[in-house]
Chain A
Amino acid sequence: MKNKSLISINDFSKEDYFNILNLAEEFRQNPNQKLLENHIVASLFFEPSTRTRLSFETAVQKLGGRVIGFSEASNSSTSKGESLKDTILTVSRYADLIVMRHPIEGSARHASEVSDKPIINAGDGSNQHPTQCLLDLYSIRKTQGTLENLNLFLVGDLKYGRTVHSLLMAMAQFNPVFNFVSPPSLRMPTEYKDHLEELGVKYYEHDDLNENINHADIIYVTRVQKERFSDPMDYEKVKNAYILKNKMLDNTKSNLKIMHPLPRVNEISTDVDKNEKAYYFDQAENGVYTRMAIMATMLGLK
């Protein structure tokens, strides 16, 4: 896979997923591998994303590499009117690998066409964020021992949530049962439900979080953003229906893990944090190992 870019989770096969996940596990067990010594990684964040950027930069440093880049577009030549193509062509001459986050959808794909160095898409608008998806897969497999035959609850904003869409597309290949919990106005889009029907994957839709979660292997919570509601009253009516509280977990399965891409606001109450089923901070840590694995793979170093 050397010099291949990572643009969309849909470009990857099951085998590609497993290669990355296995390598991520290897980095967890032995993080001191200076594979990126003498390598420069460009970290181009045309829109801010502190968490993703720090996770990538940590991954580079753990591998002994160096980072150049910027954390928002106002610090880059884009603010002077430079095209993305020119920025990428220039940075390709400096760096061995480019990690980029950009608000325009398809920007990473375009960059991968003009660059002769691998591109890793760290989010292109509402389109794709494949490294998040791979770290989610890693976290699920790490905690459940498998990706097959799991009961997954996706909770919150299922309409606009890029993370849950990618996770759905990836997990749909492993014979899961999906449960979608969201306000009626933020349901999973039809195109994704159609896709599940084509594959024969079962799914159920719910308006609130209730005792159904007692069957869950994974509860994946995302934020319901106030901005998504045209009428603020509608938000006020539903906002409390999607808050996960510790007492709701009393009768859940012992292998259950609660995941969240973070940042959390109030959708998982802080009393859940001490519960051993809470996994979101471990999930964030897994992001570092997963990104180490992705970079090493793209550069053909592993």
Chain B
Amino acid sequence: MKSELTVKAIENGTVIDHIQAENLYKIISIIGIEQIETEVFIGNNLDSKKYGKKAIIKIADKFPSMDDVNKIALIDPNAVINIIKDFKVVEKKQVVLPEKIKKFVKCINPKCITNHEDVETSFKVVKKDGKIGLKCYYCEKVTGQNNIEIIK
């Protein structure tokens, strides 16, 4: 609860909570915070019993689509989305890994067509030994979870 107070409460909007601190900046780039015109509050390196250090993002008056929310699962499958109305949590959503990922992740293979021509990336999400990988629709190489790089 302490961290909730560290970062200003919002009346209506979305709170992305339980982000591992190290994942914060990747998540910021995935959800395109720079394009949001309403109030945004970000807290990082907050104390957390679960992770040691956690991060939180609060976005006023915006309710993202599940497609957007699920992108977060690629970076941090433990993140939780809270929908806030009148300062209260009205809905809690666990992020769910999507089956396909388009556009926003770069293919790790330097010889892939998506790194040479104007082609949007497209991946199938594959799981191996509890780890997530993204199999490129074009070059068929797998980009591992640790190598996920976000396209700006």
Cβ contacts under 8 Å, B141 to chain A: 105, 127
Select one of B116, B137, B140, B142 contacting A104, CB under 8 A: B116
In the complex, are the beta carbons of B139 and A106 less than 8 A apart? yes
A19 interface residue (CB < 8 Å to B): no
In the complex, are the beta carbons of A103 and B111 less than 8 A apart? yes
Select one of B137, B138, B142 contacting A191, CB under 8 A: B142
Smallest beta-carbon distance B139→chain A, Å: 4
Q: B102-117 toward A: CB 8 Å interface, digit per residue (1/0)?
A: 0000000101111011
Smallest beta-carbon distance B131→chain A, Å: 13
Q: Which of A84, A103, A106, A191: most chain B CB closer than 10 A?
A: A106
Identity of the chain B residue whose Cβ is nearest the Cβ of A86 in the assembled complex: B117
CB-CB contacts below 8 Å: B106-139 with A: 109, 111-114, 116-119, 128, 136-139
Cβ contacts under 8 Å, A84 to chain B: 113, 117
Number of interface residues of B (CB under 8 A): 17
In the complex, are the beta carbons of B111 and A10 less than 8 A apart? no
Select one of B118, B128, B136, B142 contacting A106, CB under 8 A: B136
Smallest beta-carbon distance A90→chain B, Å: 15
Select one of A103, A109, A126 contacting B138, CB under 8 A: A109
Cα-based distance from A191 to B131 in the complex (angstroms): 14
Question: Contacts A104-B112, A104-B113, A106-B112 hold; do A127 and B118 have CB atoms under 8 A apart?
Answer: no
Select one of B128, B138, B140 contacting A194, CB under 8 A: B128
Cα-based distance from A116 to B8 in the complex (angstroms): 55
CB-CB contacts below 8 Å: A186-203 with B: 191, 194
Cα-based distance from A109 to B117 in the complex (angstroms): 13
A151 interface residue (CB < 8 Å to B): no
A69 interface residue (CB < 8 Å to B): no
Select one of B111, B118, B128, B136 contacting A83, CB under 8 A: B118
A125 interface residue (CB < 8 Å to B): yes
In the complex, are the beta carbons of A10 and B112 less than 8 A apart? no
Select one of A85, A125, A194 contacting B111, CB under 8 A: A125
In the complex, are the beta carbons of A126 and B111 less than 8 A apart? yes
Q: Which of A8, A104, A105: most chain B CB closer than 10 A?
A: A105
Chain B: residues with CB nearer than 8 A to chain A?
A: 109, 111-114, 116-119, 128, 136-142
Chain A: residues with CB nearer than 8 A to chain B?
A: 8, 10, 83-85, 103-107, 109-110, 124-128, 191, 194
| 7 new A-B contacts at CB < 8 Å, known A105-B112, A105-B138, A110-B138 | A84-B113, A106-B119, A106-B136, A106-B139, A109-B137, A110-B113, A194-B128
Could you list 18 A-B pairs, sorted by A, with CB under 8 Å?
A83-B118, A85-B117, A103-B111, A104-B117, A105-B109, A105-B112, A105-B113, A105-B140, A106-B114, A106-B136, A106-B140, A107-B113, A109-B113, A110-B113, A110-B138, A125-B139, A127-B139, A127-B141
